[in-house]
Structures are given as structure tokens and as C-alpha cells.
Amino acid sequence: MITTNITKAKKALINDEIVSIPTETVYGLAGNAYSETALKKIFFLKKRPLHNPLIVHIKSVEYINNIAKDIPEIAMKLAKEFWPGPLTLVLKKQKHIPDLVTAGHDTVAVRIPNHPVALALLEELDFPLAAPSANPFGSISPTSAEHVLNYFGDQLNIILNGGECSKGLESTIIGFENNIPILFRHGSISIEEIELCVGKVIIKTNDDLKPNAPGMLSRHYAPSTDTYLTDNVVELLKTFSGKNIGLLLFKNQIEHKNNIAQEVLSKTGDLKEAAKNLYAALHRLDKSNLDIIIAEKFPNEGLGKTINDRLERAIKK
């Protein structure tokens, strides 16, 4: 059920039920981060592998000490700059954080969402929320309540409606090794913005065996339709003659003799707008009974790096 009733969501969460919540990045499947019952429900509902950690969502910077310990100064500098917002920090965990949350690591991923509905809900609770994206594992992330409903139907009693997500891409995830910042996942805050705050960041964004953070698996964020990524859409089109094709494009449509589905993410070439529109466009293409989706590679700068990262993980291997 799609609703705006925060009180109902609060009661459900207290009873170890799972609630879909809006954030500025994507919609999440939220449960009590301290409850193994709730956590098991999240993993079961998503069909998520247990070795893939969850992000804990908290209500304030001050609350972080309930979740993490031995927090580096550089982490607090990032928190003060970007929280509330689409930045997740991977920190040494407090002992009471369940291993289910952290996939057995001694670190925990934590952030403060920048969405009025999520923050209002967190203020009503005396526990933090573990909340991965509200989609079956590996599929396209949801950026509207309708996307969540389409995925889970009556498996979810409460989907809190907060409108379309303002960022449309998951949070940037930063960890630390010897006080050096490590990028575990490209996200809604560009690596350039992070480096302006704390200097050079080391990139470690792939790990299929024991990921330190969500979003590090090589196959992820994927439509059910076979998807290809290319620098030259026109040339790749020629190799799929007779196919029912959908195009995911940055700013310009492609002139083509056949009637093909085309999604342009930003007619003005704005990478932030393109990022916001990415998943919704992929959802539409994936529902269009296509043989294939061809995605155009984005400029490898700013949020273009994040969009390319998502598309690379979505392509047909």
C-alpha cells in the first residue's frame, strides 16, 4: 500500500516489519537495524546474498557514535560537509551492530538521508534503519513509490510515498584505510567533490567475493532486457538489424529509419539531471518489450562517472 502515513510506518517498524521509505537517492527497504528478525526479512524479500552488507540510516551526526567507533577526523570532516545527503561512510562498528548488517565485517556503512519523509520517520524511532534499495537484488533501483509497488506488490504492507527521488542515484560510499579515504562506490556525490573536501581518494569499487560495501558486485542495477554500452550508438545499431531496440541517450536523439524507443536523459546536457532521470528511463525501456537496450556512454567526469559505473554493471556480459 502506498501511503504518506508516518505513524503507520513507525508502528510497522517497531513490530519488525519492513517498510519502503523514500530517500533523496533511491527508495529503500527499511527495517530495524538492531533486529535480526527484521534484517532477515530484508534479505529474504530482496533475495540479497548475505555477503553483501547493508547501509544503516541514522537521524543526526551526533547519533553516529551509537553505530561506529574510532571515527577518523577525516570521516567527520566529510560528514559535516555532506550530511544529511547522499554520502555513506564505512567505519569501525560498535559491538552491538548485528553481523547480518555488516556481512561479518568489523565495519558498518552509515549515512543520514536528505529527505523530509525519511528524516521525519527516523526522528520518531529509537533505533536506526537498515535500508538497501527497494528492488529485487541486482535489478534497476526504484526512484518512485510506483517502482517499488511494481516490484513487490502485496509483499509490502507499507510503501511511504515521498515523490520522485531528487538525486536518482545511490549514495557515494567512502571507507578509510590508515586514515586514507577509499571510494567503494561511485554515487550522487562525485569523486571530484569528495576530493575537494579531503584530497586524493583511492578507488576500490569492485569486489564480488567479500565486498566492503553495497554496489561493488560486477553485475548489478540491471534491466531484465539485454543491455549494451557503447561510445558509438549508430554503429552498434547496425549490428542489430531487425531487432526491437531501445536507446538510452545523454542529450540528443538518434535519427533512425525504424521506429525505435529513445530515452534522452538531459536535453541540456546536465549530468545531474541525467543522473536523476537514469533509473526511471531504464524502467520505462525495460517495460517496452524490447529485444535489447543500447546505452550511450557518458562523459567520464563528475556524475558521468557514476552513470557509466551503473551502466557498466547493467550490461550483458
The whole-model pTM stands at: 0.96
Task: Flag whether pLDDT at 61 surpasses 90.
Answer: yes
Q: Please report, to the nearest 10 degrees, the dihedral formed by the alpha carbons of residues 186, 148, 220, 133 taken in order.
A: 50
CB proximity list for 142: less than 8 A, separation 6 or greater:
26, 27, 133, 134, 135, 148, 151, 279, 283
262-268: average pLDDT: 97
Whole-Å CA distances, 125 to 2, 214, 218: 20, 24, 35
**Among 40, 3, 51, 34, which residue's Cα sits nearest to residue 18?**
40
> Which class does domain 226-314 fall in?
alpha beta
- Sign of torsion, CA 140 145 147 153? positive
Kindly provide the residue ranges of all beta strands, DSSP E only, lying in 54-171, ordered along the sequence: 55-57, 68-69, 87-93, 107-111, 129-130, 158-160
pLDDT of residue 219: 81
User: Is residue 242 very low, low, confident or very high in pLDDT (cuts 50, 70, 90)?
Assistant: confident
Whole-Å CA distances, 119 to 23, 57, 93, 308: 9, 9, 22, 30
Contact criterion met (CB below 8 Å) for 23 and 113: yes
Tell me the per-residue pLDDT of 107-125, one tens digit each, with 9 for 90 and over: 999 999 999 999 999 999 9
Q: Please report, to the nearest 10 degrees, the dihedral formed by the alpha carbons of residues 77, 81, 83, 88 taken in order.
A: -60
Yes or no: domain 2-169 corresponds to CATH 3.40.190.150: no
CA distance 280 to 150: 13
Share of the chain above pLDDT 90, in %: 89
Residue 107 CB neighbour total at 10 angstroms: 19
Task: Flag whether pLDDT at 317 surpasses 80.
Answer: no
Tell me the per-residue pLDDT of 185-228, one tens digit each, with 9 for 90 and over: 999 999 999 999 999 999 999 988 888 889 888 888 889 999 99
CA distance 310 to 317: 14
The DSSP symbol for 127 reads S
- Specify which residues 267 forms β-bridges with: none
- Sign of torsion, CA 230 265 303 53? negative
Bridge pairing between strands 202-203 and 226-230: unpaired
User: Is residue 315 very low, low, confident or very high in pLDDT (cuts 50, 70, 90)?
Assistant: confident
CA distance 50 to 43: 7
Task: Flag whether pLDDT at 52 surpasses 80.
Answer: yes
Task: Flag whether pLDDT at 257 surpasses 80.
Answer: no
Tell me the per-residue pLDDT of 70-109, one tens digit each, with 9 for 90 and over: 999 999 999 999 999 999 999 999 999 999 999 999 999 9
Residue ranges matching CATH 3.90.870.10 in the chain: 2-169
Task: Flag whether pLDDT at 256 surpasses 90.
Answer: no
Share of the chain above pLDDT 70, in %: 99
Task: Flag whether pLDDT at 316 surpasses 80.
Answer: no
131-141: average pLDDT: 96
Tell me the per-residue pLDDT of 143-195, one tens digit each, with 9 for 90 and over: 999 999 999 999 999 999 999 999 999 999 999 999 899 999 999 999 999 99
Could you identify the residue written with the cell 548475505? Answer: 50
pLDDT of residue 260: 81
